[in-house]
Amino acid sequence: MKYYFSLLLVLVCFVNTNAQFRTQQEGEIKNPVKWNGSIEKQSENKYQFILEADIKDEWHIYSQKTPEGGPLPLWFNYLDIGSGYELKGETTESESKRQYSEIFGVDEVYFAKEATFKQNVDITDKNLSVIKMELKYQVCKEVCIGEEFYVIFDIKKDLVKIIQNYDEFTAYGASANEEEKPKTETKKPEEKNNLADNIEKNEEEKGLFTIFFLAFLAGFAALLTPCVFPMIPMTVGFFTKQSKNRSKGIKNALLYGFFIVVIYVLLGTIVTAIFGADALNALSTNVTFNIVFFILLVVFAASFLGAFEIMLPNSWANKVDQQANRGGIIGIFFMALALAIVSFSCTGPIVGTLLVEAASKGGLAPIIGMLGFSLAIAIPFALFAMFPGWMNTLPKSGGWLNTVKVVLGFLELALAFKFLSNADLVLQAHILEREVFLAIWIAIFGVLALYLLGKISLPHDSPLNHISVGRLGLGLLILAFTIYLIPGLWGAPLKMISGFTPPLNYSEAPYGVGNRKTGTATASSKSDFPEHAKLGPHDIVTFTDYEKGMAYAEEKNLPILLDFTGYACINCRKMEERVWSEPQILGKLKKELVLISLYVDAKEKLPEDEQYTSKTTGKRIRTIGNKWSDFQIKHYGANAQPYYILLNNEEEMLNKPVGYTPDVDEYEDWLTEGLSNFEK
């Protein structure tokens, strides 16, 4: 049973690799992008304006070329074009990245770490000295922030000013005696650098730990394959015979384990060095490489299922074996290398899959993945070499080893279709829609269940007269998972595998077979529906105007959930789709409070007499989104979305606000606490 339990762990981790970690810090003004500018004179009347963005790790700003319907693209608005100057061509960008967003259903075109933008300008009035431009963009990580800056290009002074104060922006250039400023000046609110840096560091460490843990489980699964497991007694026998005393044997065993780790970590390092840390992530989101990964994993799966064996040339193994006979440290190193080569037909597909998965993370992920994988293999070899008596506790090699290999083959095949789905989503080909993807997975895991229950056999299986209790238990687990998938064909959300399947809207029937969205699902009748409200996510009655929502809440004597959100906010949609949809949350949102959703990126213009310059940020407030963003910063000292606040009818907070909270139980506890405080 313990051997099948290890496979169960691998399966559980396999369907949960999209786990999220909460990183929002309440009440914090975040400033993840720093801007610098310069002016290059190319000829008498020709200039090039350059803006450079320094972006904090894991934050993204979105390109001008981001498709409609996705995150907010970068926007340059040069004022008074034609009044003394002309723009020559479009603003050019440095190299961007591209990744399909399952939330928005379009590609995200974005910049990470840094970005450079250049605009060629022809001066037609020799007396012109100042050109002004508005810069707007969205920057996202676990939360999203809409930013607006005002940029002044002073040609005569060779000066670029990047500011947030609208009054200073409009007044610049009015006086000819204005003092000289530094070439680039950026004025922004004071940053809480240490706190933000600590949050980012903790998130990165959590992500790498997850990769390490999954790789360690994969290494343990590889240990239980026919190519690796039988080599344990052979290796232990070698060290027992070659070591003159126990201390020497322990030393050799530790060296052997160490060299196994070195060999695999070196492989991860080479992959990272060849492709580059950032390039790996870019490749993983590319259509061509997703299709290549799909084909590669199908080949790996076929190998595990017994169609053929993937082997390195025998000459390699023979040459390494000759070196292993030299003895000493070098001999032990080549013994470890021999293990890696001889066991490649079983470990190769697993290593390949790990490197493909790690590629989607970028950075040190391939190295960390290989470290976890190699430790899982090295530790048992080293321990059994140190304590040969433990060999008596090992089960004998047999048909169960091939069963492990076959189960891994089915998992490889299921994972392969995830990569094909990625390519289909990016292309919007609608070939592998949600129902088709689920049908394939149901077939794969259904056949795997039949295999484990002894109804199907494969080429390398031993004759099976009966199945063990462990195999029966794993078979029942896979069968239950298969049955769980079936309602997904009719629109069930299948949150257990959220992130693996195509999104619900990428489907032949987005609301389930035979269903369609109704107009007023939450109101008992049209007359009961509140004035000025609308149906929001999951048909929750929602107000998008603060004053009108507060008035309704006071009339009904209900608490308020103030939701600072955005149309282009990825994690706002994740919260709505994955947390608000839970019955224990949805019931509270529909019946026990009033939801006021304020969209900070709403583009509707405010009437001229309602536009103003913010006393808090100095920015010009022109749109409804500007108004709500300024409202959030002024009253709650935060500028990121999503951001949730529970209020009573006197506009007093009922508990501490929260941001992105993907843990359903945690979010429910927060709601319950606030509702309880309202009743007091």
39-61 pLDDT, tens digit each: 998 888 899 999 999 988 878 88
Q: What is the pLDDT of residue 441?
A: 94
- Collapsed DSSP state (helix, strand, coil) of residue 109: strand
Does residue 491 sit within a domain? no
Both 187 and 202 in one domain: the answer is no
Domains: count for the chain:
3
Both 230 and 98 in one domain: the answer is no
Q: What is the pLDDT of residue 644?
A: 94
Q: Tokens representing 341?
A: 């080569």
Q: What is the pLDDT of residue 19?
A: 37
Q: What is the pLDDT of residue 391?
A: 66
> Cα–Cα distance between 16 and 38 in angstroms, integer?
47
Q: What is the pLDDT of residue 519?
A: 43
Residues spanned by the domain of 635 = 526-679
* Residue that finishes a domain, picked among 385, 408, 432: 432
Question: Directed axis angle between helix 344-359 and helix 287-305, to 10°?
Answer: 160
Both 66 and 85 in one domain: the answer is yes
CATH of the domain at 56: 2.60.40.1250
Give the distance, in angstroms, between the CA of residue 245 and the centroid of all CA atoms in the same chain: 52
Does residue 130 sit within a domain? yes
Both 223 and 335 in one domain: the answer is yes
- Which residues are within 8 A (CB) of 237 and not within 5 positions of it... i.e. 6 or more apart? none
Report angle CA 111, 170, 31 to the nearest 5 degrees.
Answer: 30
CATH of the domain at 627: 3.40.30.10
Q: What is the pLDDT of residue 537?
A: 83
Instruction: Please give the average pLDDT of every successive group of 10 residues along the chain, which has 680 residues.
Output: 41 39 48 89 89 88 80 86 89 84 72 91 88 88 81 89 84 55 40 40 56 79 68 65 65 79 77 54 60 82 78 58 61 73 62 61 69 82 72 64 82 86 75 90 95 88 84 93 92 76 72 52 54 84 92 93 86 85 90 92 87 86 90 86 92 90 91 90
Does residue 415 sit within a domain? yes
What phi, psi does 518 have (nearest 5°)?
-100, 165
Say how many C-beta atoms besides its own lie within 10 A of residue 486's C-beta. Answer: 14
Q: What is the pLDDT of residue 229?
A: 64
Q: Tokens representing 308?
A: 């053929």
Does residue 584 sit within a domain? yes
Size of the chain in residues? 680
Q: What is the pLDDT of residue 234?
A: 66
* Residue that finishes a domain, picked among 127, 156, 191: 191
What phi, psi does 232 have (nearest 5°)?
-60, -55
Q: Tokens representing 90?
A: 């479009």
- pLDDT tens-digit profile of 311-330? 655 665 566 555 555 556 77
* Distance (Å) of CA 619 to CA 72, 147, 402, 645: 19, 10, 66, 24
Q: What is the pLDDT of residue 474?
A: 92
* Residue that finishes a domain, picked among 397, 432, 467: 432
Both 162 and 236 in one domain: the answer is no
